């Protein structure tokens, strides 16, 4: 029986990373043959020679890679409608819950699709959790980006001219990205406060040396799978009043709050921005799904009343080598699991959760609910 053939596509120029590194190719030896599109890892620091030394073969074009692969790996979407030949399985981070219409790219016979952003957050699937990997790098990079843009130094500095106080950071959202932002800002010497609607995050925030901002009356979030939940209007009004005070004192605000399949919650209002100090910086990591700040524009620098608002949508790409290292481990863990359990797609808790398209038909219940016509 011949080995499964795995192909690795080169990402779009703005996404300087790869989802399978040479080390990942090494891990797949004996389980699969790997074909890599030429220069797929170049922007992330992985050479063609390194891939060949690891056992991969190179494909000059996307067409050659598609033709020679059974499983195709990428970060995002490709529009290959009409160019598939035979059975193909696409694996990527497709974010269908936010863009359900893009599932139409894959609705033709013979096509299977697994979207890894749908990986359940369970112990069994922990090694495959691409969102945690992306969140870790994003939180880290957000602090560096904010520090570069800020008019103030981050740590306390004492010199002949006097003493500079440490910068005040406010982190909104204490998931993986938020916690990494807290840890990074604290390492740089900032005074850090953090807000999250999830009460369970208080202990984690305080363990990193930050102050947790508490507002009473949040909706219970214990069964939310680690994500934020929608809150009542009355509660959000109290949050707004408290955050008006906190945003006015902050030198840097980093927002990270997302709700799967929904527009990102508004946390930094126009009123808050207008009340911030000149030179303050907002880095909005939810820009791709509508933004947590009222003035955020995806991948743009917006300046309002001398406050700088940044909305990067691919910030993890600015640390492409490290992001690729983490994602490659996630993808390989998923591939190993898929190859072992693929005869049980519909019943397996991980494979069924990520399976969006099977033989050209939409089968994911979460996506089917989003695409169903309104009554």
Element (H, E) at 247: helix 233-249
Which among 87, 126, 300, 342 is annotated as catalytic?
126
Beta pairing class for 168-172 and 162-164: unpaired
Which among 121, 165, 242, 359 is annotated as catalytic?
121
Q: How far apart are CA 70 and CA 357, in angstroms?
A: 15
Which among 5, 227, 238, 348 is annotated as catalytic?
227
Which among 37, 74, 115, 132 is annotated as catalytic?
132
Sequential DSSP letters for 97-136: TT-GGGGGGG-STTEEEEEGGG---SSTTGGG-HHHHHHH
Q: How far apart are CA 279 and CA 199, in angstroms?
A: 31
Q: Let me know if 126 is a catalytic residue.
A: yes
Strands (E), 219-300: 252-255, 281-284
Q: Let me know if 149 is a catalytic residue.
A: no
Which among 33, 129, 196, 251 is annotated as catalytic?
129
Q: In Å, how far are 34, 43, 50, 52, 126 from 39, measured between CA atoms?
A: 14, 8, 11, 12, 30
Strands (E), the chain: 4-8, 32-37, 57-59, 71-73, 88-92, 111-115, 157-159, 162-164, 168-172, 191-195, 211-213, 252-255, 281-284, 301-304, 307-310, 355-358, 361-362
User: Are 72 and 90 in contact, with CB atoms under 8 Å apart?
Assistant: yes
Q: Let me know if 38 is a catalytic residue.
A: no
Q: Which residues are catalytic?
A: 121, 126, 129, 132, 227
């Amino acid at each position: 029986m011949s080995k499964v053939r795995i192909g690795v596509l080169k990402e779009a120029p703005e996404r300087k990373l790869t989802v399978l590194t040479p080390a990942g190719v090494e891990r797949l030896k004996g389980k699969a043959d790997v074909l890599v599109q030429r220069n797929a890892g170049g922007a992330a620091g992985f050479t063609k020679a390194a891939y060949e030394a690891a056992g991969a073969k190179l494909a000059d074009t996307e067409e050659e890679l598609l033709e020679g692969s059974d499983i195709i790996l990428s970060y995002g979407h490709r529009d290959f409608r009409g160019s598939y030949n035979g059975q193909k399985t696409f694996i990527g981070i497709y974010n269908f819950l936010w863009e359900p219409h893009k599932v139409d790219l894959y609705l033709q016979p013979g096509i299977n699709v697994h979207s890894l952003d749908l990986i359940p957050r369970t112990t069994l699937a922990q090694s495959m959790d691409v969102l945690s990997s992306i969140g870790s790098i994003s939180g880290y990079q957000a602090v560096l980006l904010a520090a570069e843009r800020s008019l103030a130094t981050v740590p306390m500095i004492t010199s002949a001219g006097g003493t500079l106080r440490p910068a005040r950071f406010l982190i909104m959202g204490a998931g993986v990205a938020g916690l990494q932002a807290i840890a990074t800002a604290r390492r740089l010497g900032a005074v850090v406060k953090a807000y999250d609607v999830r009460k369970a995050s208080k202990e984690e925030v305080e363990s990193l040396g930050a102050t947790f901002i508490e507002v009473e009356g949040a909706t219970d979030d214990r069964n939310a799978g680690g994500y934020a939940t929608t809150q009542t209007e009355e509660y959000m009004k109290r949050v707004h009043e408290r955050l008006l005070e906190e945003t006015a004192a902050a030198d840097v605000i980093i927002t990270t709050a997302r709700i799967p399949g929904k527009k990102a919650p508004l946390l930094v209002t126009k009123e808050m921005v207008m009340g911030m100090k000149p030179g303050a910086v907002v880095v909005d990591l939810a820009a791709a799904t509508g933004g947590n700040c009222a003035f955020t524009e995806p991948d743009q620098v917006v300046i309002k009343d001398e406050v700088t608002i940044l909305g990067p949508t691919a910030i993890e790409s600015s640390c492409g080598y490290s992001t690729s290292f983490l994602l490659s481990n996630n993808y390989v863990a998923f591939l190993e699991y898929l190859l072992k359990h693929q005869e049980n797609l519909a019943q397996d808790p991980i494979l069924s959760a990520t399976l969006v398209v099977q033989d050209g038909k939409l089968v994911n219940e979460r996506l089917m609910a989003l695409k169903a016509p309104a009554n």
